[in-house]
Amino acid sequence: MEDILVNWLPYTFVFLMGLSMLIYAVLDGYDLGVGMLIDNATSHEKDRMIASVGPFWDANETWLILGVGLLLVAFPMAHGVILTNLYLPVAIMLFGLIFRGVAFDFRAKVPFQQKWRWNNKFFYGSLMTSLAQGYMLGSYIIGFEHSLSGIMFSCLIAVVLASAYCLIGACWLIMKCEDTLQEKAVKWARYHLINAVVGLAVISLATPLISDRIFEKWFSFPAMLWLAPIPILTGSLIVWLYVLLRKMPLPQDRYNWLPFVITVLIFVLSFCGLAYSFFPYIVPDQMTIVEAAAAPESLIVMLVGALIVLPVLLGYTALSYYVFRGKASDLRYD
């Protein structure tokens, strides 16, 4: 029994942690994307864009807290290594999240002539957060290498992730907005789709060169057969999204939800590709999932709590999106 717990509990927790971070990347990704796109809109369009994320953005960040919390309690050794190496970008990310949270509330309370200042702060807070998360992802991929080439690679991933967030944010606006703003969102989605695809291609070429182990998993037979469906499906979805965006908006606003769904699937497949590449390591090429896990007795106690919290978060998230479904309306605080 003890051997079963030792073998399966760590993988259960890494699955729950990965699921939390994936949900966060999708949900907070689109509202960060909307925040970065806001700089290209008119004053009225800015209000409508923020109204489209208003009921959701604060709760979306709960998934980040859950993911980091699971890392801390279930994999304390890995938490120490990861957070030590990412101290500065984590601090920048937290500052950006606070910055945009304050801007979100203040912009609705200041006189109209001062609103532009808080719109700018919302934009810069979203940009800081996105770039910091992208830099952290790049640094994680290369095993926290602090050489010049490693820093340049992490900076590239920062730009690519920010563009990917803009893509999913634009697809969210296609679904939630109408008329001129929807047409603008289609153009933004086309532009950032190209940027994100180019960046994804560069990452895919560079990642196996960083680690011999990853190169072996990607290109050796029969291991490559497990990976093959991911790039094939991802490429197919990208082509489908590109063709769809060239035709949108469609008459009667048909299929306005489809670009967002396709982009979510691309995010999921990209995440699965990373998970496949790094498994069974939680710190790339340094520490395995089992080595970093807390004691089985502790994991059992924490699993009970996680299995209570996770359904509550999923239920609340589903309820909020159901209640505020449909097109965005004017944001009101009274």
Give the per-residue pLDDT at 167: 95
pLDDT at 131: 95
Residue 334: inside a domain: no
Tokens for 251, please give them: 């008459």
Q: How far apart are CA 172 and CA 99, in angstroms?
A: 22
Q: Is residue 328 part of a domain?
A: no
Q: What is the DSSP string of 52-121?
A: HHTTTHHHHTHHHHHHHHHHHHH-HHHHHHHHHHTHHHHHHHHHHHHHHHHHHHHTTTS-GGGHHHHHHH
For the segment 162-188, the average pLDDT, to the nearest whole number, is 92
Strand locations in 119-216 (E): none
Query: Residues 142, 117: contact at Cβ < 8 Å?
Result: no
Q: Which of 266, 111, 120 is CA-nearest to residue 200?
A: 266
Q: How many residues does the chain have?
A: 334
* Mean pLDDT within 18-41: 90
Look at 202 and 314; give whichever has higher pLDDT.
314
Q: Please give the pLDDT value at position 1.
A: 47
Mean pLDDT computed over every residue of the chain: 86
* Cα distances (Å, whole numbers) of residue 83 to 77, 134, 226: 10, 15, 31
Cα 67 to Cα 36, 77, 306: the distances in Å are: 24, 15, 11
Domain total in the chain: 1
Residue 330 maps to a domain? no
293 inside domain: yes
8 A C-beta contact, residue 329 and residue 51: yes
Query: Which residues does residue 283 pair with via DSSP β-bridges, in sequence order?
Result: 287
Specify the amino acid at residue 97: L
Residue 256 lies in a domain: yes
Question: Contact, 89 vs 139, CB < 8 A?
Answer: yes
Position 13, amino acid: F
pTM of the predicted structure, to 2 decimals: 0.91
Provide the token pair at 283: 């710190």
Residues 6+ apart with CB under 8 A from 288: 280, 281, 282
5 pLDDT exceeds 80? no
**Across residues 40-53, what is the average pLDDT?**
85
In a domain, 331, yes or no: no
pLDDT of 324 higher than 90? no
Between 97-101, 208-212, 307-311, the lowest mean confidence (pLDDT) is in: 208-212
In this structure, the number of other CB atoms found within 10 A of the CB of residue 159 comes to 16
The 10s digit of each residue's pLDDT in 196-254 is 888 888 777 777 777 777 777 777 777 777 778 888 999 899 999 999 999 888 888 78
Helix (H) or strand (E) holding 47: helix 43-53
Proportion of the chain above pLDDT 70, given as a percent: 96
Element (H, E) at 246: helix 229-247
φ/ψ (deg, to 5) at 109: -115, -15
Q: Is there a domain that residue 333 lies in?
A: no
- Give all strands (DSSP E) within the chain, no chain letters: 281-283, 287-288
Q: Which domain holds residue 103?
A: 2-323
**Does 12 fall in a domain?**
yes
Q: Are 267 and 309 in contact (CB under 8 A)?
A: no
Say if residue 128 is exposed, middle or buried (CB neighbours under 10 Å; 0-12, 13-18, 19+). buried
Q: Is residue 334 scored above 70 in pLDDT? A: no
